Amino acid sequence: MATGFLHIDLNALVSNWRALAAMSDAEAGAVVKADGYGLSSDRVAAALKAAGANRFFVATVEEGAKVRQAVGPDALIHVFGGHMAGDTDAILQLDLIPMINSLDQLTRQFESLPGKAFGVQLDTGMNRLGMEWSEWSAVASIVMAQSPALIMSHLACADETDHPMNAYQLETFRKMTDGVNVPRSLSATGGILLGKDYHFDVTRPGIGIYGGMPFTDASPVVKLDLPVIQIRDLTEGEVVGYGNSWQAARDSKIATVSGGYADGILRSLSNKNTKLWAGSIPCPIVGRVSMDLITVDVTDLDEAPEALSLLCPQQTVDDLADIAGTIGYEILTSLGGRYKRTYLS
């Protein structure tokens, strides 16, 4: 079978969520946007709901539809993107909670869905989404009279524990919201790790659930095996792949595996000493990552492998991200649709 095998350990995912939830007295929700960080939001959300999560966060109304089907009618599903034009019917039918980001969205919510649940997102300095202080001051009394389901903001630098922006945003959030009588939320994974001052009433663990940094104690959730299609012998001096970008310095055995940038294996991993693994033995990628194929030096293996692992205990999503010059989020959310997925639960 010439397709990769993506193994997703839902038990590890649930364990990571429980560990993050146990770090405070706040209610722990779960961020399942981007199709559950590339792992299928319905499977992820259903596993977390069974473990006790009852509040989920998605980016768009469209994402909320898939999660609602997975978690049933009683769970709370918040939409970070808020109430966009054209979303009204879906918000109503799916019983979603738009996180209002602007005065325009607030007007749309109050005019089209009066009395229906909504939340508010405030900008505390990230300048990305949410009402600014002046906007919030103008409408806070009106909003609070409608009892929003949640008031939240988002930390810009939570993965840097000593960054002064963290304390600044915490202080700003407190000034904007102290005295309100509805649940408040400031922290995703990084904020949870900053300590209880940042937790408020609801936390939003995301990347840490899926085994990524900055949650260093996370259990690995994904394993990616790529089947070997062919192995060929090269003599010293022969070249491999597009652009002849690798030349054998010795007689070599080169395995061609099924997978490439069409599957979310970033082309930037080419010629950077990236490795695939045969158990505990590293096998370097040679030549360029192409659309469907990767070539790997397996000269030092005693036996011809049937598959090699790109994501495994020896090489996590963050290890791969460091090599590629990106972050674990991108590695996970780039995982393609051609993999045969198996779920351990």
Catalytic residue positions, numbered: 33, 242
Q: Kindly state the DSSP code that residue 269 receives in the 8-state scheme.
A: G
Distances (CA, A) of 76 to 118, 119, 148, 342: 11, 11, 13, 28
Per the document, the length of the chain is 345
Of the candidates 173, 300, 295, 307, the one whose C-alpha atom is nearest the C-alpha of residue 242 is 295
3-state secondary structure of 214: coil
Neighbouring CB atoms inside 10 A of 18's CB total: 16
Give the separation between CA 168 and CA 174, rounded to whole angstroms.
10
Q: How far apart, in whole angstroms, are the C-alpha atoms of residue 318 and residue 215?
A: 11
Chain-centroid distance, C-alpha 135: 30
Contact 187, 198 (CB under 8 A): yes
């993050």: which residue's tokens?
20
Residue 252's beta-bridge partner residues? 234
Calculate helix-pair angle for 164-177, 133-144, nearest 10 degrees.
40
Alpha helices (H) in the chain, listed in sequence order: 10-21, 33-37, 41-51, 61-71, 88-94, 103-112, 133-144, 164-177, 189-194, 317-324, 328-333
Could you give the 3-state DSSP secondary structure of residue 251?
coil
As given in the structure block, the two tokens for residue 122 are 């405030």
68 contacts 96 by C-beta, under 8 angstroms: yes
Name residue 76's beta-bridge partners.
55
Three-state DSSP class for 200?
coil
